[in-house]
Chain A
Amino acid sequence: MKVRFLASGDRALVVEFGDRIERALSNDVLRLDASLRSSRLPGVVETVPTFRSLMVHYDPVATTCADLERAIASLLDRRPDPRATTILWRVPVCYEGSFAPDLGDVANRTGLAPGEVVALHSAPRYHVYMLGFLPGFPYMGDLPHELALPRRADPRLRVPAGSVSIATTLTAIYPYESPGGWHLIGVTPIRLFDPARSRPALLAPGDNVQFEPIDPASFASIRKAVDSGKYEVANEPISR
Chain B
Amino acid sequence: MSAGLQVLAPGLHTTVQDLGRPGYQAIGVPVSGALDGFSLRLANALVGNPPGTPVLEVLMSGPTFEVAAETARVALAGVGASLAVGAEKMPAGAWQSVTLPRGKVIEVVVGRQSASCYLAVEGGIAVPLTLGSASTYVRAAIGGLDGRALRRGDFMPLAMAGASHRAELRLSSPIVATGDQPIRVVLGPQQEYFTEEAVAAFLGAEFRISQSADRMGMRLDGPFLQHRRSWDIVSDAIVTGAIQVPGSGQPILLLADHQTTGGYPKIATVISADLPVVGRRRPGDTLRFAAVTVETAEELCRAEERRLAEFVAALEPVPASHTVDVASLYSGNLISGVVSGLE
Q: List residues of chain A with CB under 8 Å of any chain B CB.
A: 6-12, 14, 16, 19-21, 33, 45-55, 57, 60-61, 64-66, 130-137, 139, 176, 178, 193, 195, 200-201, 204-205
Contacts and interface: CB of A to CB of B under 8 A. Distances in A.
A49 B25 CA distance: 9
Given A6-B190, A16-B189, A131-B260, 16 more contacts: A8-B189, A9-B185, A10-B298, A14-B237, A16-B236, A46-B26, A50-B261, A53-B236, A55-B237, A131-B26, A133-B28, A134-B28, A134-B140, A137-B28, A195-B131, A200-B29
Contacts of B131: 195, 200
B239 A8 contact: yes
Nearest to B30: A135
B153 interface: no
Nearest to B140: A135
B189 A60 contact: no
Contact of A9 (B27, B234, B242, B295): B242
Q: Which of A66, A132, A204 has the most CB of B within 10 A?
A: A132
A14 B266 CA distance: 12
Contacts of A178: 139
Contacts of A12: 237, 239, 269
Contact of B236 (A55, A57, A61): A55
A154 B188 CA distance: 31
A133 B261 CA distance: 6
Contacts of A176: 139-140
Contact of B28 (A46, A60, A135): A135
Please give me the 4 A-B residue pairs with the lowest Cβ-Cβ distance, nearest first: A132-B261, A9-B269, A55-B237, A10-B297
Interface residues of B, number: 45
Given A55-B236, A60-B272, A9 B241 contact: yes
A12 B239 CA distance: 7
Contacts of B189: 6-8, 14, 16
A231 to B, nearest CB: 20
Interface in B146-201: 185-186, 188-190
A200 B24 contact: yes
B235 A50 contact: yes
Given A50-B237, A51-B236, A133-B261, A11 B29 contact: no
Contact of B25 (A21, A33, A48, A193): A48
Contacts of A7: 186, 188-189, 269, 294
Contacts of B300: 10
A6 B294 CA distance: 10
A163 B272 CA distance: 37
The residue in A11, A46, A53, A204 that gathers the most chain B C-beta atoms within 10 A of its C-beta is A11
A236 B42 CA distance: 50
B271 A10 contact: yes
Interface string B258-283: 01111000100111110000000000
Contacts of B297: 9-10, 60
A47 B25 CA distance: 8
A61 B306 CA distance: 10
B142 A135 contact: yes
B200 to A, nearest CB: 20
Contact of B295 (A50, A57, A66): A66
B301 interface: yes
Contacts of A61: 301-302, 305
Contacts of A131: 26-28, 260
Interface string B8-38: 0000000000000011111111000000000
B242 A135 contact: no
Interface string B301-343: 1100100000000000000000000000000000000000000
B236 A64 contact: no
A201 B140 CA distance: 13
B130 interface: yes
A47 B23 CA distance: 8
A65 B270 CA distance: 16
Nearest to A64: B298
A143 to B, nearest CB: 16
Contacts of A139: 235
A8 B242 contact: yes
Nearest to A53: B236
Given A195-B130, A200-B131, A52 B234 contact: yes
B233 interface: yes
A65 B24 CA distance: 21
Contacts of B260: 48, 131-133
Contacts of B29: 135, 200
